[in-house]
């Protein structure tokens, strides 16, 4: 039993948890830069709760609300320059995966000069601005991971920065911020979290603690499937999904992801398919591929979800995700050649070759082989 467990983020959950715990910001610094997108943090009330908490705690702040979906490298360098100019000494990221991923890179780049090449090579000092995170979707789990995923045009895919420096100091989970999300976004993000739990259990880096948390996360998401299908989510379901997504974040903080994420990145980069949806489209076929060599792992995932057979999960995913995008054999060939080079392929217990990736893409999209 050789493993490590490390997750230093203080997770604070519950209704109005930001204002109730406003003093926690004081330990991070004296001037915050809020990193977020243009709209949703304003619409769902999270940005206002943060700025009011900061005012009550007598902390100055500036707002950088230029983070786009699937943030680029240019965006995070711009944010870091803004943080330096403003003299911000800590970062508060509010939003879905994009502002959180950007917030981490901004906090790193604001604390030290790092060239673009060195950023992805992990060549930097042990310095970063402290961070507080407020997820407003229940999917990425970025609030408790040491990863920042950026769109890397040079590599024509998404590339991750991974260092324990990137663990936020604080994560505030308030389900109310997710209550106005449309059903499609809610489904896509829930499937992203589900994929983290499932890939975490499949990963060769799974450990006893990550497995316990993954099963709990998977079980909680499974409990919401009916409401997701019916579009009848209550406030309690919203809280449950946010909780499950955080747990799944703790899981991938230890296990990394697998071929599903590697393959999904191309669907997002080239075809603009939402990240969670991209994972969901590939999940069942990847599980079938893995079941050939590791039926035990797949069985314990299926059991945790409350199913008897993988086909039941497959059917539910199809119902949740609806009609699939058109994809050509040429596209599949290209995406497979990119995905096979990704680091997380090495986390698969049954290691796929390029031809296996082609088969998984092909069957996932219902193309004739």
Smallest gap from Cβ 241 to its own copies, in A, equals: 12
Smallest gap from Cβ 214 to its own copies, in A, equals: 11
127 binds its own copies (CB under 8 A): no
Contact 129, 83 (CB under 8 A): yes
Smallest gap from Cβ 310 to its own copies, in A, equals: 24
Q: Draw the binding track, 64-93, toward its own copies (x: CB under 8 A; -: no contact).
A: ------------------------------
213 binds its own copies (CB under 8 A): yes
300 binds its own copies (CB under 8 A): no
Smallest gap from Cβ 177 to its own copies, in A, equals: 14
> Distance between CA 173 and CA 25 in Å, rounded?
15
Q: Got the DSSP string for 142-200?
A: GGG-SEEEEEETTTTEEEEEE-GGGS-SEEEE-GGGGTT--HHHHHHHHHHHHHHHHHH
Q: Which stretch binds its own copies (CB under 8 A): 1-9, 134-142, 182-190, 276-284?
A: 1-9
Q: Region of 141 please: left (phi>0), alpha (psi -120 to 50) or beta.
A: left
With b meaning 16 or more CB within 10 Å and e meaning fewer, what string describes 72-84? ebebbbbbbebbe
The count of C-alpha atoms lying within 13 angstroms of the C-alpha of 365, restricted to the half-sphere facing its C-beta, is 19
180 binds its own copies (CB under 8 A): no
216 binds its own copies (CB under 8 A): yes
Indicate the residue among 209 and 321 with the shorter CB distance to its own copies: 209
Smallest gap from Cβ 276 to its own copies, in A, equals: 22
Count, residues in the chain: 369
Indicate the residue among 9 and 140 with the shorter CB distance to its own copies: 9
**Which listed residue (12, 62, 162, 227) binds its own copies by CB under 8 A?**
12
The interface with its own copies within residues 318-337 (CB under 8 A) comprises: none
11 binds its own copies (CB under 8 A): yes
- The residue whose two tokens read 């604001």 is 110
278: part of which helix (H) or strand (E)? helix 275-291
Looking only at the bridges linking them, the beta strands covering 131-135 and 147-152 are: unpaired
**Which listed residue (47, 239, 274, 285) binds its own copies by CB under 8 A?**
239
**Which listed residue (162, 209, 321, 350) binds its own copies by CB under 8 A?**
209
Q: Which stretch binds its own copies (CB under 8 A): 155-163, 212-220, 286-294, 357-365?
A: 212-220
* Residue 117 CB partners (closer than 8 Å, separation 6+): none
Contact 361, 327 (CB under 8 A): yes
- Which one-letter DSSP state was computed for residue 27? G
Smallest gap from Cβ 207 to its own copies, in A, equals: 8
Counting residues that bind its own copies (by CB under 8 A) gives 25
The residues binding its own copies (CB under 8 A) are 1-15, 17, 175, 208-209, 212-213, 216, 239, 243, 247
């Amino acid at each position: 039993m050789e493993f490590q467990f490390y997750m230093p983020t203080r997770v604070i959950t519950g209704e109005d948890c930001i204002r109730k715990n406003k003093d926690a910001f004081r330990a991070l610094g004296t001037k915050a830069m809020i990193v977020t997108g243009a709209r949703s943090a304003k619409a769902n009330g999270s940005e206002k709760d943060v700025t009011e908490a900061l005012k009550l705690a007598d902390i100055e702040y500036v707002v950088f609300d230029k983070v786009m979906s699937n943030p680029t490298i240019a965006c995070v360098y711009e944010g870091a320059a803004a943080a330096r100019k403003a003299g911000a000494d800590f970062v508060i990221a509010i939003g879905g995966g994009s502002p959180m991923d950007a917030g981490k890179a901004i906090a790193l780049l604001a604390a030290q000069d790092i060239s673009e090449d060195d950023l992805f090579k992990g060549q930097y000092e042990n310095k970063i601005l402290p961070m507080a995170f407020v997820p407003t979707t229940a999917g990425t789990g970025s609030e408790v991971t040491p990863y920042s995923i950026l769109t890397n045009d040079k590599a024509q895919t998404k590339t991750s920065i991974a260092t324990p420096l990137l663990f936020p100091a604080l994560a505030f989970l308030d389900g109310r911020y997710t209550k106005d999300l449309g059903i499609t976004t809610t489904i896509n993000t829930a499937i992203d979290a589900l994929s983290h739990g499932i890939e975490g259990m499949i990963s060769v880096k799974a450990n006893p603690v990550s497995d316990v948390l993954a099963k709990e996360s998977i079980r909680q998401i499974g409990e919401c499937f009916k409401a997701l299908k019916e579009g009848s989510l209550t406030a309690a379901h919203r809280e449950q999904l946010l909780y499950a997504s955080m747990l799944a974040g703790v899981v991938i903080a230890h296990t990394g992801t697998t071929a599903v994420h590697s393959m999904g990145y191309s669907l997002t980069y080239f075809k603009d398919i939402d990240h969670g949806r991209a994972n969901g489209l590939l999940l069942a076929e990847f599980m079938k591929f893995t079941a050939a060599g590791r039926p035990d792992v797949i069985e314990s995932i299926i059991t945790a979800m409350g199913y008897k057979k993988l086909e039941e999960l497959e059917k539910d995913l199809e119902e949740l995700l609806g009609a699939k995008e058109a994809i050509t054999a040429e596209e599949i060939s290209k995406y497979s050649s990119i995905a096979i080079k990704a680091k997380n392929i090495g986390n698969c217990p049954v290691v796929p070759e390029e031809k296996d990736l082609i088969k998984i893409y092909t069957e996932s999209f219902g193309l004739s082989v």
